[in-house]
Amino acid sequence: MRFLAAAVLTFATAAPCFAQGLFDDNEARRRVEALRQQLVEQNRLIEERMTKVETAVAGATDRSAMLDLASQIEALRGDIAKMRGQLEVATNQIEVADKRQKDLYLDIDTRIRKLEQANEQAALLQQQQQQQAQPPGGTQPAESQQAGEMRAYQAALDQFKLGNYPLAVSAMQGFLVTYPNSSLAPNAQYWIGMAHSGQRDYKSAIAAQRKLLASWPDSEKAPDALLSIASSQETMGDRRNAQKTLEEVIQRYPKSSAAASAKQRLAALPKR
């Protein structure tokens, strides 16, 4: 019975550390900490009672004393059962809060992705309007190439919007092979990483975004690529590196919208 009580104490002591690693709900974390303290105190009292019971058992000689000891042991069992129930409640709170945090990050990423796609569409539309406004002349071959470049990029982006992530990866990679010097090359590389994320291949997603940062560190997509790396690290459970990456976003690209998002995410992380 001592072993069972000690096991309950060990789990109760570890519960807050586990909770802090999983979620950022301050209220839930305070409740778990308060519960931990209660369980520690209860375990101490049980240990004292167990010691008294064991001492009494050693010196018990009559039936009434044995019955009294049996009653105390039964009461101790009830206390331990109650502690188990409290631990189950705390575990459920941790799981609920963990799911809440993951849903929050998914919602943030979804909103960011929609905004990025809208910006892409606006930029492409502006380029098309500029092309149409140019008078006809001797630059038709160049304009034709640029129009083909935009069509290829748009076709690849459409695959991503449709959720055809493997096709989006292939199409964007093909675009980079055909138009390696395009102004849209960093965008294409970014969407390759995002398409890998869509397939839950987070290691490939991180590798793709790091390639963007290495090849186009000053691109408008560079801050978003770094933010995407942090999201992949967070989803993989690598919270320590995710926090470092968020801090890097703020340090390297302080005026970007990605930096503003990084600050919000850092603020939502559990305080250690």
Structure tokens, 179: 């138009």
**d(Cα 211, Cα 221) in Å, to the nearest integer?**
12
As separate numbers, helices (DSSP H) first and strands (DSSP E) second, the chain gives: 10, 0
Residue 250 reports pLDDT greater than 60: yes
What is the per-residue pLDDT for 123? 63
Listed in sequence order, the residues at least 6 apart from 1 whose beta carbon sits closer than 8 Å to its beta carbon are: 50, 73, 76, 77, 80
Kindly state the percentage of the chain with pLDDT values over 70. Answer: 58
Place of tokens 């071959």: 141
Nearest to 25 by CA among 260, 272, 269: 269
What is the per-residue pLDDT for 45? 76
Count the neighbouring beta carbons within 10 Å of the beta carbon of residue 178: 11
Greater confidence, 137 or 161?
A: 161
3-state helix, strand, coil in the chain (%, to 5): 85, 0, 15
Least confidently predicted of 88-92, 180-184, 236-240: 88-92
User: Does an H or E element contain 200, and which?
Assistant: none
User: Mind giving me the DSSP string for 153-182?
Assistant: HHHHHHHHHTT-HHHHHHHHHHHHHH-TT-
Structure tokens, 192: 């390759």
Greater confidence, 171 or 52?
A: 171
Residue 207 reports pLDDT greater than 60: yes
- Per-residue pLDDT, averaged over 64-87, amounts to 71
CA distance readout (Å), 170 to 114, 137, 193, 195, 227:
21, 35, 12, 10, 23
What is the per-residue pLDDT for 66? 63
**d(Cα 161, Cα 257) in Å, to the nearest integer?**
22
| Separation of CA 153 from chain center | 30
Structure tokens, 148: 């083909």
Greater confidence, 171 or 124?
A: 171
What is the per-residue pLDDT for 42? 74
Greater confidence, 178 or 101?
A: 178
Residue 144 reports pLDDT greater than 70: no
Average pLDDT, the chain: 76
Greater confidence, 112 or 192?
A: 192
- Per-residue pLDDT, averaged over 5-16, amounts to 42
Listed in sequence order, the residues at least 6 apart from 21 whose beta carbon sits closer than 8 Å to its beta carbon are: 239, 270
What is the per-residue pLDDT for 254? 94
What is the per-residue pLDDT for 13? 43
What is the per-residue pLDDT for 16? 43
Q: How confident is the model at residue 86 (pLDDT cuts 50, 70, 90)?
A: confident
**d(Cα 154, Cα 46) in Å, to the nearest integer?**
69
Greater confidence, 82 or 105?
A: 82
Q: How confident is the model at residue 12 (pLDDT cuts 50, 70, 90)?
A: very low
- Per-residue pLDDT, averaged over 234-240, amounts to 91
What is the per-residue pLDDT for 1? 45
**d(Cα 105, Cα 109) in Å, to the nearest integer?**
6
* Helix 239-252 and helix 257-268, axial crossing angle in degrees, nearest 10: 140
